[in-house]
């Protein structure tokens, strides 16, 4: 397994291009199941999760060619509505084929995603909503077996109220409702920019989705076969942008331009970074980040969008490890998203965990160490901690990182950071 070595202390200067949003590309690639013909997706990041989704679509019978940043998906002769465990276990978001397969082909067999490092990650909300639309759902030997009404018929529009905002739950139901008979009303939807982007794509295909990006959506189903292929360039990745924003804040004197970043998608993070003393300015379609003085401690509680993103919690915690004082970070979305804490403690951080709250006491120095990546965003936080520490840090098992960060060592290196990838390092 590869590792990434970081030698800390460099001041970061220059420009870095933000890639397309992984969590927009994944549902949109699954939406290609709703139509025939050839769809083109542009500004797609070169990531493992994209390759996994392409493999899944090929397994289902689609012709997929990935030449990042372009991906083309063409309908095959027929479809095999089954997502096997071997593929779903690599990426939970594979569950996003459930809604489109059921809506378009009347049946689907999708492996239950199982938990992951950050939590149990159930899909009860997805299944409850599809049942309300007339689907017959049974769970058998780790698989979800789903069938449209009357042995595979068309889903029916329904009123769906989510118990909590769920990003992929909202996305699965949007795609199912797009081809259901009649109107669906979705209440307590996730409001992430990636959900809004999926709504844009579905409407480009000929669906009738109103309210994507807000907590209530009205969707008028259209006739299966009426949705058309699309050509679309996806939105920038706000979490990748936020990650580089924090990286730029780690060393005094850094001055970094994030090219193509959308500051409107990062309001909660930007507010907290500014409160911490980081200078952040929107410059046209870019964001400029400057670290000119000490970092002030700031309390943060994660929340569904537009609140502070859980996907930025680990990275922001690292910044707070260097603050002049105590900050309290509360994780409300996932039950086990502090896996980066033990690794940061080994680097000299001062963090006390109390349930879903971390009390962080800033330190003047952190020390390089060999640390273990556990999940996508925790891995990024360890790289960022390496930028601050006095000597060398080796982050192992970076396959987690490669799922969500395109060319991270080249991008950080381009800003002056001393970062290198070590192939087949000791894991």
CB of 163 to ligand EPZ, least distance (A): 7
CB of 50 to ligand EPZ, least distance (A): 12
Which of 119, 277, 306, 416 binds ligand EPZ (CB under 6 A)? It is 119
Q: CB-wise, 50 or 180, nearer to ligand EPZ?
A: 50
Stretch that binds ligand EPZ, among 119-127, 354-362, 393-401, 406-414 (CB under 6 A): 119-127
Q: What angle do CA 335, 337, 339 make, to 5 degrees?
A: 130
Q: Does 374 bind ligand EPZ (CB under 6 A)?
A: no
Which of 167, 186, 269, 298 binds ligand EPZ (CB under 6 A)? It is 167
3-state secondary structure the chain: CCEEEEECCCCCEEEEECCECHHHHHHHHHHHHHCCCEEEEECCCCCHHHHHHHHHHHHHCCEEEEECCEEEEECCCCCCCEECHHHHCCCHHHHHHHHHHHHHHCEEEEECCCCECCECCCCHHHHHHHHHCCCEEEEECCEEEEECHHHHCCCECCEEECCCCCHHHHHHHHHHHHCCECEEEEECCCCCHHHHHHHHHHHHHCCEEECECECEEEEECCCCCCCCCCEEECCECHHHHHHHHHHHHCCCCCEEEEECCCHHHHHHHHHHHHHCCCEEEEECCEEEEECCCCCCCCCEEECCCCCECHHHHHHHHHHHCCCCCEEEEECCCCCCCCCHHHHHHHCCCEEEEECCEEEEECCCCCCCCEEECCCHHHHHHHHHHHHHCCCEEEEECCHHHHCCCCCHHHHHHCCCCEEEEECCCCC
Q: Are β-strands 3-7 and 418-422 bridged in parallel, bridged antiparallel, or unpaired?
A: antiparallel
Q: Does 48 bind ligand EPZ (CB under 6 A)?
A: no
Site for ligand EPZ in 7-36 (CB under 6 A): 23, 26
Q: CB-wise, 129 or 263, nearer to ligand EPZ?
A: 129
CB of 22 to ligand EPZ, least distance (A): 6
Structure tokens at 387: 């930028």
Q: CB-wise, 26 or 329, nearer to ligand EPZ?
A: 26
Q: CB-wise, 163 or 283, nearer to ligand EPZ?
A: 163
Residues 6+ apart with CB under 8 A from 335: 118, 119, 120, 356
CB of 360 to ligand EPZ, least distance (A): 21
# binding residues, ligand EPZ (CB under 6 A): 24
CB of 333 to ligand EPZ, least distance (A): 5
CB of 215 to ligand EPZ, least distance (A): 13
Q: Does 70 bind ligand EPZ (CB under 6 A)?
A: no
Site for ligand EPZ in 288-327 (CB under 6 A): 310-311
Q: Does 123 bind ligand EPZ (CB under 6 A)?
A: yes
Site for ligand EPZ in 321-350 (CB under 6 A): 333-334
Which of 404, 411, 412, 415 binds ligand EPZ (CB under 6 A)? It is 404
Q: CB-wise, 43 or 166, nearer to ligand EPZ?
A: 166
Which of 164, 216, 271, 282 binds ligand EPZ (CB under 6 A)? It is 164
State yes or no: is 116 an active-site residue. Answer: yes
CB of 401 to ligand EPZ, least distance (A): 11
Site for ligand EPZ in 74-103 (CB under 6 A): 92-93
Catalytic one of 30, 116, 189, 321: 116
Return d(Cα 90, Cα 83) in angstroms, integer.
12
Q: Which residues bind ligand EPZ (CB under 6 A)?
A: 23, 26, 92-93, 119, 121-126, 164, 166-169, 190, 310-311, 333-334, 376-377, 404
* Residues labelled as active-site residues: 116
């Amino acid at each position: 397994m590869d590792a990434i070595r970081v030698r800390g202390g460099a001041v970061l200067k220059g420009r870095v291009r933000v890639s397309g949003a992984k969590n927009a590309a994944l549902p949109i690639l699954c939406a290609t199941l709703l139509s025939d013909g050839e769809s083109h997706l542009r500004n797609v990041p070169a990531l493992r999760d994209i390759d996994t989704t392409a493999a899944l679509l090929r397994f289902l019978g689609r012709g997929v060619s990935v030449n990042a940043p372009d991906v083309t998906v063409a309908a095959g002769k027929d479809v095999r509505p089954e997502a096997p465990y071997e593929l779903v276990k690599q990426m939970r978001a594979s569950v996003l084929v459930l809604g489109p397969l059921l809506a378009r082909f009347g049946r689907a067999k999708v492996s239950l995603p199982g938990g992951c490092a950050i939590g149990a990650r159930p899909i009860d909300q997805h299944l409850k909503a599809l049942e309300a639309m007339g689907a017959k759902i049974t769970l058998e030997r780790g698989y979800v077996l789903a069938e449209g009404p009357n042995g595979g018929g068309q889903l029916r529009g329904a009123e769906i109220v989510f118990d909590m905002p769920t990003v992929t739950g909202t996305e699965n139901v949007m795609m199912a409702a797009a081809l259901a008979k009649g109107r669906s009303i979705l209440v307590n939807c996730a409001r992430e920019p990636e959900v809004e982007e999926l709504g844009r794509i579905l409407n480009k295909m000929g669906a009738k989705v109103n309210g994507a990006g807000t907590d209530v959506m009205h969707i008028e189903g259209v006739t299966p076969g009426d949705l058309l292929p699309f050509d679309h360039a996806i939105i920038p990745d706000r979490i990748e942008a936020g990650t580089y924003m924090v990286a730029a804040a780690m060393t005094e004197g850094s001055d970094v331009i994030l090219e193509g970043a959308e500051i409107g998608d990062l309001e909660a993070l930007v507010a907290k970074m500014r409160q911490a003393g980081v200078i952040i300015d929107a410059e046209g379609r870019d964001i400029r980040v400057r670290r000119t003085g000490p970092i002030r401690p700031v309390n943060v509680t994660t929340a569904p969008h537009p609140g502070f993103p859980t996907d930025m919690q680990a990275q922001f915690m690292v910044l707070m490890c260097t603050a002049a004082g105590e900050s309290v970070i509360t994780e409300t979305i996932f039950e086990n998203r502090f896996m980066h804490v033990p690794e940061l403690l080994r680097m000299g951080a001062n963090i006390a965990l109390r349930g879903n709250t971390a009390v962080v006491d800033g330190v003047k120095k952190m020390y390089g160490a060999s640390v273990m990546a556990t999940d996508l965003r925790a891995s990024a936080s360890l790289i960022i901690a390496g930028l601050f520490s006095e000597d060398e840090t080796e982050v192992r098992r970076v396959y987690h990182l490669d799922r969500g960060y395109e060319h991270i060592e080249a991008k950080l290196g381009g800003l002056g950071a001393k970062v290198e990838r070590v192939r087949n390092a000791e894991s």
